[in-house]
Structure 1
């Protein structure tokens, strides 16, 4: 089963593929997506990555605060969407 991690403070030009490549050496990556503005299509500076459940906590701990594109990443377990 997969766990979804929130990844914030991303450089505006980051792609889902780049995010996937960055996380891959740290564990099993199932998918990644960058959240974009509905009207402009530009990145909102954050995304989500689905990783193997066994790797999720370790990946969040190791990668939180790590430099990516000159910016410290915010990485933690995603919270369920509130309706």
Structure 2
């Protein structure tokens, strides 16, 4: 349910603040929470954020801000997707030791 009311914002300036992010998206509807993700070791911003709105309708309005300028950078806005354990979006082969034939 939370993912259905949330967006992912990419290409966020490292100097961006929660207050500034909320101000940029306040026109879309009431914001429940905003998270600018940071590296757990260095504490530096990763360059993306999640915003949860109180209403699903706000998502459609927020998606219209895709490629808008925020802190001098063109941001990417998409609907937040739900992570499904074990589902990969890449076609990488599994790593590690497998059974090898000795022909």
**Taking structure 1 as the reference length, what is the TM-score of the superposition?**
0.88
Displaced runs of 4 or more, over 2 A: none
Gaps of 5+ in 2: 86-103
SS in 2 for 1:12: coil
18, 23, 29: which one pairs with 1:21?
A: 23
Give 1:14 deviation, angstroms: 0.9
Structure 1 residue 33 displacement after superposition: 0.6
Count of matched residue positions in the alignment of Structure 1 and Structure 2? 82
Aligned to 2:48: 46
SS in 1 for 2:16: coil
Bigger proportion of residues as strand: 1
> Is residue 94 of structure 2 the alignment partner of residue 56 of structure 1?
no
Q: Rg: which structure is higher?
A: 2
Q: Separation in 2 of the partners of 1:79 and 1:23?
A: 19
RMSD value over aligned CA atoms? 1.5
**Is the contact made by 1:17 and 1:32 (CA closer than 8 Å) also made in structure 2?**
no
| Aligned equivalents of 1:55, 1:25: Cα separation in 2 | 9
More helix per residue: 1
